[in-house]
Amino acid sequence: MRKNIFFMLIMVVGILGCPPKPFTTINQKHFNIIVVPDLSNRITNKNYILSDKQLASYFSKLLYPNIIENDANINQKDKLRFDFINLTHAELYKLSSARMDLSIFGDDQMARNKYLGIFSSTSQFRKDTTTFISQFDIYSTVITEENDYGSDIYNYFTNISFLDIDTTTTKIDDPLHKVQISSQFENIIVLFTDGYIEVKSSGNANNKMSNALSESKINDFRTDYLSANKINKITLEDYFKISGYGIDPIINPALSKSRILVLQLFDRGLTFGANRNPGPTDVEIMKLFWTDWLKKSGVSDSNIGIYSCDDTFDKTSTQNIFKTFLNVK
């Protein structure tokens, strides 16, 4: 007994004599993802390869475990929501802003696991993702152009302000563990659009610089480029830089704290087996305008992803784009 006490005293002295253990910092990332469809031309012109509902379904299948368990298996705070560019659509078609929010469980991982369905074949998480996907049935409810109330993408980006941009730090400090957990949200805006930004109320929509990217503006740019290229050979990218064309930058601090993924640009000039527009396609031109616009609005180049229908032609190609952009396996 005395021998055991002796060894215990040695252990206590050793512990007390050791220098304080430094904190180990763990960086935990949480996704705050907003999926918003451009419910204007995409309602009446179903000429894209994959429907928005298919895109949403492919994305939802990556939520758990790929996205949610990207940085940790505990205390995940990832969020997902369906949003509207025009709230009139929500009221007209009686849609809800379907959402999933893991932050409501706080430190209760058992409740979070139950929600995700780790211990069950059915779960509230699956019900919520099903509701999220069902929102895209809106396309089958709209038949005529008269039912289309428009979607002003420019105004939507100008006013978006409800993103989580906070960083929280939690410390676990005891004799055995000294851990500092840095918890940070990564804001993702996933936009489904054909790429044309048409603002009905704008009188200067077709000007070289305006808050729109209409089909007419794209045609004007193409005509000017082809004319300039005949005189002096110049790349499309170089001509864009000196042309004076573009979309008016947006002043909104939320954009600089966000990553923006744009799917699926579609070329209205496409016909069966050909393109009626000579020279650069609408999609090539739109990618220049969109990238320039978002960068000048404060979004860093690495936080921009812009893809056409040709890029998202099936489940695998679409999921690969999502995984690459979100940097998940």
Residue 227 lies in a domain: no
d(CA 28, CA 30): 7
Residue 69 lies in a domain: yes
Helix or strand or coil: residue 306? strand
Residue 231 lies in a domain: no
Residue 62 lies in a domain: yes
Torsion sign (Cα): 94, 95, 97, 102:
positive
Non-local CB neighbours of 148 within 8 Å, separated by 6+ positions? 39, 40, 43, 44, 142
Structure tokens at 245: 């064309």
d(CA 135, CA 60): 13
Residue 221 lies in a domain: no
Q: Are 292 and 246 in contact (CB under 8 A)?
A: yes
Q: What is the pLDDT along the chain (329 residues), one digit of tens a residue?
A: 444 444 444 444 444 455 566 777 777 889 999 999 887 666 555 555 788 889 999 999 999 999 999 888 888 999 998 888 877 777 777 776 778 999 999 889 999 999 999 767 689 999 899 889 988 877 666 544 455 556 789 999 998 876 655 555 565 555 566 777 777 888 999 999 989 998 765 557 668 999 999 999 999 999 999 999 999 999 999 999 999 999 999 999 999 989 999 999 988 877 666 677 778 999 999 999 999 999 999 999 999 999 998 899 899 999 999 999 999 98
Per the structure, the count of domains in the chain is 1
Residue 212 lies in a domain: no
Residue 290 lies in a domain: no
Domain of 127? Answer: 19-196+253-272+301-326
pTM greater than 0.75 (yes/no): yes
d(CA 94, CA 139): 13
Residue by residue, DSSP assigns 164-192 as: ---EEEEEEESSS-EEEEEEEEEEEEEEE
Residue 145 lies in a domain: yes
